């Protein structure tokens, strides 16, 4: 009777070992998939950072061009406006500097 009980227990242990081995293989496969996805996420995060940096660069350049265009337009308008016989002085408040030029 004890021999059959030992045999049954041995079969249970073998089944439990087989289940544990299968679970370990599945865990390794899942770890591999997670590692691949982590690499993809890291690549996408790096691409996002680079894209944001590029966007800031273009935004800064666009702002600089708009300021230059606005300053040029103000200068062109003020160039034709004579206030004093010798010079015209004005202040471009958006650029924080003053210009004076001879009047014709």
pLDDT digits (tens, 9 = 90+) for 86-101: 544 444 444 444 444 4
List pLDDT tens digits, range 49-71: 999 999 999 999 999 999 988 88
| Mean pLDDT of all residues in 32-59 | 97
Residue 87 contacts residue 102 (beta carbons within 8 Å): yes
**Residue 26, CB-side half-sphere exposure with 13 Å CA sphere:** 6
Domain parsing of the chain, residue ranges: 2-102
Please give the model's pTM, rounded to 2 decimal places.
Answer: 0.52
Q: Which residues contact 88 (CB under 8 A, 6 or more apart)?
A: 78, 79, 81, 82, 100, 101, 103
List of E strands, the chain: 87-92, 97-102
What DSSP string runs through 17-39? HHHHHHHHHHHHHHHHHHHHHHH
Q: Which two tokens stand for residue 33?
A: 């998939």
């Amino acid at each position: 009777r004890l021999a059959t009980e030992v045999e049954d227990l041995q079969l249970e242990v073998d089944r439990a070992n087989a289940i544990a081995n299968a679970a370990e293989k599945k865990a390794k496969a899942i770890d591999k998939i997670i590692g691949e996805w982590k690499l993809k996420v890291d690549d996408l995060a790096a691409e996002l950072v680079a894209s944001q940096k590029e966007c800031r660069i273009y935004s800064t350049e666009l702002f600089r061009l708009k300021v230059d265009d606005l300053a040029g337009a103000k200068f062109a308008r003020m160039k034709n406006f004579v206030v004093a016989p010798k010079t015209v002085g004005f202040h471009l408040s958006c650029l924080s500097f003053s210009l004076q030029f001879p009047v014709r």
